Amino acid sequence: MLFVSCLAPILAGISFRFAIPLLETTLTNCFQVEAALSTYYKLIDILFAMLTPDMFCFVSAMVALEERDEKTVAYLFITPLGKTGYLFARLGVPSAIAFLATVILLPVFKLTPLSAMSILLLAAGGTLQGMIASLLILAVSSNKLEGMAVAKLSGLVILGAAVPFFVRSNVQYLVSPLPSFWIGKAVLENCMPDMLPAFGLSVGWICVLLKWYLRPR
């Protein structure tokens, strides 16, 4: 299952790139409208940029939960690897791989024109969202079964990106504590500097969740 999860971004990318434009053509012809789904192509690109890190970090989190279930984490913490080395192996390495995978896959499967800088920023923002989801699973769950349930709920964190596309009033700022909200807003308004709050909030979330994960149990 974890192996298939790593392949999910490619399968999703193929569906996004070919099935959605085909569905868009079908809907516009059927209802005689100029646009149906194309209005949300930017949102689809954002979700794809977050999907790859989310899948990679999910796999890493489940491996870490298995090591916790087998009581090996405590032993790894006192080896030369230490807590820092363990966290780097379980969070840093998968996140770096996810970032590179997103940089490679997003230009292939994107539905809207994106500059190289936009792709890098989306990949970085998506990677941070993946780290948040992974830490949320590790901090809240005590075993793999709970981890699966929390993993489904952690996906709600990235839904903040959809709010600016559907809510245009100031009510949208109710979800502004979610980093994904600022990513969605930056892409929707073609103003990538608006993504800076997303990076700041992501670091804050990661620090809080990391401290929660490392709390004495």
Using the Cα atoms of residue 81, residue 83, residue 88 and residue 94 in order, give the sign of their dihedral: positive
Give this prediction's pTM: 0.91
Q: How many residues does the chain have?
A: 217
pLDDT the model gives residue 78: 79
The neighbour count for residue 187, using CB atoms within 10 Å, is 26
pLDDT of residue 162: 94
| pLDDT value for 154 | 80
What is the per-residue pLDDT for 217? 63
pLDDT of residue 180: 95
Stretches in the chain below the pLDDT threshold 70? 2, 217
